[in-house]
Amino acid sequence: MLQENQQVRFEEEQPFTRPSLNKEKKSFLVSLVIKLHLAKDNSGAQKVLLVVAIIAIVAAVWLFFSTFLSPVTPPKIPSNIHIPPGALPSANQ
């Protein structure tokens, strides 16, 4: 235990440095966009990815509305095929 008149002294003085918050860790997609020369820097790559995301969302909405909300039409049976009565389920059953 230290007495009141004793001080702690270190052999080497090392200045305290805070970890830098400016170091930007690039994500895989940002690096990929830059490697494919679609953007020059991190900001440009993020803009490219934003445009791709918007296009994907618009395509998904368009596919949803064109597929699930369109009226269902029954398949047409060629007139030269003979179907015996009672072979197909009727709507009254």
For the stretch 9-59, pLDDT in tens is 767 777 777 776 666 677 999 999 999 999 999 999 999 999 999 999 999
pLDDT confidence of 92, banded at 50, 70, 90? Answer: low
Give the Cα separation of 2 and 32 in Å (integer).
57
For the stretch 57-84, pLDDT in tens is 999 999 988 877 777 777 777 777 777 8
* pLDDT given for residue 24 in this prediction: 63
Say whether pTM exceeds 0.85. no
Per residue, the 3-state secondary structure of 4-20, as one string, reads: CCCCCCCCCCCCCCCCC
For the chain, the domains span 28-68
